[in-house]
Amino acid sequence: MKRIPNRCSAAGVVLLICTLLLGLAKPSSAGVIVTSSVVDTFAQSISGKGCCGEFPVDNPAPTGGTYGAFSSDAEAIAGPLLEVTTGVAIGRSSAVLGVSLIGGLTTATASLSAVNDFYDMDGGPYLADTYTQFSVFFTLTEDTPFVMSGTQAWHPDDSVALIRITGSPVIIIGPKDDTPHAFAASGTLPPGDYEFTANVGAYAVPPGGPEYYEDSTISATLVLLPEPSSLALLALTIPAVCRRRRRR
Residues 234 and 124 in one domain: no
What pLDDT, on a 0 to 100 scale, did the predictor assign at position 159?
Answer: 64
Helices (H), the chain: 10-25, 228-241
pLDDT at 246 over 60: no
Q: Please name which of 2, 1, 10 lies closest in space to residue 243, comparing C-alpha atoms.
A: 10
Residue 138 and residue 42 in one domain: yes
Say yes or no: 71 and 45 in one domain: yes
CA–CA dist 21, 29 (Å, integer): 13
The count of other CB atoms within 10 Å of the CB of residue 246 is: 8
Q: What is the model's pTM?
A: 0.75
User: How confident is the model at residue 179, as a pLDDT?
Assistant: 67
Predicted confidence (pLDDT) per residue in 46-99, tens digit: 876 554 444 555 566 778 889 999 998 988 888 765 555 678 888 999 999 999
pLDDT, tens digit (0-9, with 9 covering 90-100), for 30-59 = 689 999 999 999 888 887 655 444 455 556
76 within 8 A of 59, measured Cβ to Cβ:
no
Give the domain extent around 133.
32-226
DSSP state for residue 239 in the 8-state scheme:
H
Cβ atoms < 10 Å from Cβ of 9: 13
* Residue pLDDT, tens place only, 102-144: 988 999 999 999 999 988 887 767 888 899 999 999 999 999 9
Same domain, 21 and 141: no
Residue-wise pLDDT for 159-208, tens only, equals 677 888 998 888 887 655 566 788 899 999 999 999 999 989 888 888 77
Domain tally, the chain? 2
